[in-house]
Each structure stands twice: as structure tokens, then as C-alpha cells.
């Protein structure tokens, strides 16, 4: 698909926004990207320009700066990532322009940020009301946005579109390995994974836990592993390149992710595509992909996390997993959550909004 009018993408300078921009460009959609910081994207014929704007809540000039970009590039769509100050600024910028605003919700923006202060709650509600369409990678996030607005709901179209995975098609060769690859922040409770693994090693001493990624708690997590006497059984592999992370998924038999709150995480989709047994916190977004005991395990009490890990290991070691969830999950992801397919859904949404 090739279009002349660009999409103006507004967001943080995160890897997720960069990946989204690359996906649109690869599909033939021209893009102008304006981000809070420099976006790490390689040149592409469809990437017309990249600019930086202070999208913090204190920059009262941000809507004017976005409008200047709109006048210069006449975008077919403005697409803002996150219903925080980014969406708030974008909403004020498009007002009266006739250009549709797509607002992609990331989860924490409507699940957690409104509780920070009345100002944050008001700002997010304003962003939601200004959008022509909301998208999210889990239905629970769309429902939370509706609940946030209450009786004064918005007329925006609600569309569930996962930000899926790049399907490598490479076969997995799982070993007796458990993988955790969420960031080392309190939200993700990596300490609970390490504590559960320490209890597990009493009966499964031949298993290894790989703790990938990094964050503010990295050093504390290493100290915890040493205190629990499992430092020799844990590989702290740090922030991995996409290629190295894909290899870690293919080597792992079990995947662990137990955050306090989450939307649909790309890491879960990648783990399911690789055939790992997912052991997850029991969150609404996870229930959209996993049925407890059928194609993974959902845990509400972290004191019982080691028991869920034992169930996952038992299912994998028995060979039953390969014929059930290990076969079903990759098919599910290929059908619903490959990145190319999801970009096509965004392009279809843009066309629908432009057609009125």
C-alpha cells in the first residue's frame, strides 16, 4: 500500500514508537514522526521527517508546534501514542482541523496514571475525549478508558489491535530453562520470580533461570539471588538485542511474567510464538490470551508461584505440552498477533476514518 499524505506520529522516543514508525514505513505509508527526544530509526524513503518536541505537561507551546507540523505536512491522520501529556497535546493541536486523531493506549496511561493526581486524571480524560479513535492491545484497557470517562463517554471508535511480533519462523529447541525478560522495576516483581525459583530448585536442581533485561532493581535482584543461594543457577543476561532475545525464547521451556498491572505485552506474544509454557500474573489482559491450565498458567497468589512453575515444568517434561499448548499458542499468535498483520489493521482504520 502506498499513500501520498503522511501519518503524523506523536509520542515518546521509545523503542515501541520507533518500531511502529518502521512498520508503517515498511507497509508503504509515509510518516512524519515527532517525539519527546530523538527517535532511533534508520532512514527510509517513506520516513519524510523526524523532529523532537518537548511533550511534557509543562510545555504549553506543544500544541502550537504540532499544528505547525500539520500545516507543513498536511497529514491524513495524527496518531498519538499514550493518553498522557502526549495525547493531551495532540488533542488540542487537532481541534478544529478536521484531521482524525488516533490515540493508542498503552495500558498504564489509563490503568495507573489517573491515580497519581486529579490533574493527571483530568488530562487523560481530555485526551480520550479529543480522539476520533482509541486503539489498545487489550480489551481491558479500552474498557478502563470507558470507565474513566463514566457517563460522559466519548464518541471515539474503540479498536482492539495488538502490537504483535515479528514472526521469525525459526523452530524452537527448548532446554530446561525458565525465562524472565521484563524490566527490573517494582511493577514487574522480578524478585517474586527469583524467590519462587529458589524454592523450586529444591526439587528441580537441573533447571536454570535466565533473568534478562535491566532496570533500577538489577543490583538488588543479584543480591537477592546471592542471599537465597541460587546465584549459580541464575543467568543475569542484561538487555539483549532482538536477535539474542529471540534465541532466549527458543531455548526456554517456561516463560515468567508477573507484573502488578499490564496490557498485552509483546514479550508474552513472543514467548507464546516460541512455544514456551507461560506462567503469568492473573490479569484481565493475560486472560485474553491464556486459559489457566490449558495453554498456560495464571497466578493470583505469588506465594504459590513456585507451584505454578512446577506444574508448567511437569507439563513440559511429560511431553504433553508439545501436543497441546506448545502447538496451539504459536498458531494463535500467527493468526492474531504478527506485527505485519497488525500494521495492516492500523492502515485499514486510517482509511475508515478518512472515509468518515
Domains of the chain, each with CATH number or no CATH: 7-164+338-354 (3.40.50.2000), 177-336 (3.40.50.2000)
Q: Which residues touch 243 (CB under 8 Å, ≥6 apart)?
A: none
Using N-to-C axis directions, what is the helix angle for 218-227 and 190-200, rounded to 10°? 20
Q: Note the residue count of the chain.
A: 356
Average pLDDT per run of 10 along the chain, which is 356 residues long? 81 92 96 96 96 96 98 97 97 96 93 92 96 93 92 83 78 92 96 98 96 97 98 96 92 97 89 96 94 97 96 97 95 91 96 90
Q: What are phi and psi of 58, to 5 degrees?
A: -80, -10
Q: How far is Cα 202 from Cα 306, in angstroms, rounded to an integer?
A: 11
Query: What gap in Å lies between CA 81 and CA 104, rounded to an integer?
Result: 5
Q: What angle do CA 282, 286, 289 make, to 5 degrees?
A: 135
Instruction: Kindly tell me the burial class for residue 168, based on how many C-beta atoms sit within 10 Å of its own C-beta (0-12, 13-18, 19 or more).
Output: middle
Coil, strand or helix at 227:
helix
Is residue 135 within 8 Å of 159, Cβ to Cβ? yes
The whole-number pLDDT of residue 151 equals 72
**Distance separating the N- and C-terminal Cα atoms of the chain:** 20
List, in sequence order, every residue forming a beta bridge with 36; answer none if it has no partner. 12
pLDDT score recorded for residue 1:
46
The rounded distance, in Å, linking the Cα atoms of 179 and 184 is 14
Which is nearest to 275 in space by CA: 309, 321, 320? 321
Amino acid at each position: 500500500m502506498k499513500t501520498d499524505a503522511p501519518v503524523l506520529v506523536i509520542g515518546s522516543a521509545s523503542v515501541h514508537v520507533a518500531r511502529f514508525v518502521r512498520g508503517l514505513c515498511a507497509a508503504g505509508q509515509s510518516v512524519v514522526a515527532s517525539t519527546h527526544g530523538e527517535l532511533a530509526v534508520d532512514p527510509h524513503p517513506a520516513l519524510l521527517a523526524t523532529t523532537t518536541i518537548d511533550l511534557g505537561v509543562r510545555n504549553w507551546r506543544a500544541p502550537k508546534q504540532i499544528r505547525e507540523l500539520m500545516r507543513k505536512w498536511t497529514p491524513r491522520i495524527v496518531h498519538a501514542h499514550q493518553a498522557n501529556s502526549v495525547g493531551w497535546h495532540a488533542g488540542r493541536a487537532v481541534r478544529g482541523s478536521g484531521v482524525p486523531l488516533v490515540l493508542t493506549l498503552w495500558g498504564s496511561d489509563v490503568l495507573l496514571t489517573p491515580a497519581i493526581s486529579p490533574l493527571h486524571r483530568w488530562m487523560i480524560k481530555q485526551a480520550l475525549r479529543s480522539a476520533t479513535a482509541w486503539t489498545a492491545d487489550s480489551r481491558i484497557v479500552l474498557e478502563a478508558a470507558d470507565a474513566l470517562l463514566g457517563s460522559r463517554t466519548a464518541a471515539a471508535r474503540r479498536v482492539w489491535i495488538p502490537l504483535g511480533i515479528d514472526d521469525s519462523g525459526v523452530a524452537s529447541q527448548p532446554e530446561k530453562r525458565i525465562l524472565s525478560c521484563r524490566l527490573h522495576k517494582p511493577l514487574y516483581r522480578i524478585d517474586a520470580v527469583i524467590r519462587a525459583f529458589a524454592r523450586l530448585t529444591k526439587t528441580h536442581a537441573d533447571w536454570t533461570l535466565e533473568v534478562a533485561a535491566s532496570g533500577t532493581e538489577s543490583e538488588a535482584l543479584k543480591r537477592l539471588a546471592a542471599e537465597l543461594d541460587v546465584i549459580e543457577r541464575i543467568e543475569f543476561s542484561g538487555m539483549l538485542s532482538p536477535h539474542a532475545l529471540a534465541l532466549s525464547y527458543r531455548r526456554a521451556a517456561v516463560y515468567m511474567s508477573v507484573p502488578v498491572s499490564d496490557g498485552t505485552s509483546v514479550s508474552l506474544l513472543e514467548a507464546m510464538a516460541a512455544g514456551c509454557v507461560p506462567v503469568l500474573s492473573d490479569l484481565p489482559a493475560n486472560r485474553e490470551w491464556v486459559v489457566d491450565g490449558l495453554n498456560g498458567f495464571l497466578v493470583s497468589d505469588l506465594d504459590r508461584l513456585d507451584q505454578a512453575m512446577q506444574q508448567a515444568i511437569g507439563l513440559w517434561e511429560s511431553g504433553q505440552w508439545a501436543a497441546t499448548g506448545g502447538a496451539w499458542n504459536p498458531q494463535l499468535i500467527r493468526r492474531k498477533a504478527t506485527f505485519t498483520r497488525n500494521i495492516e489493521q492500523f492502515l485499514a482504520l486510517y482509511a475508515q476514518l478518512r472515509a468518515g
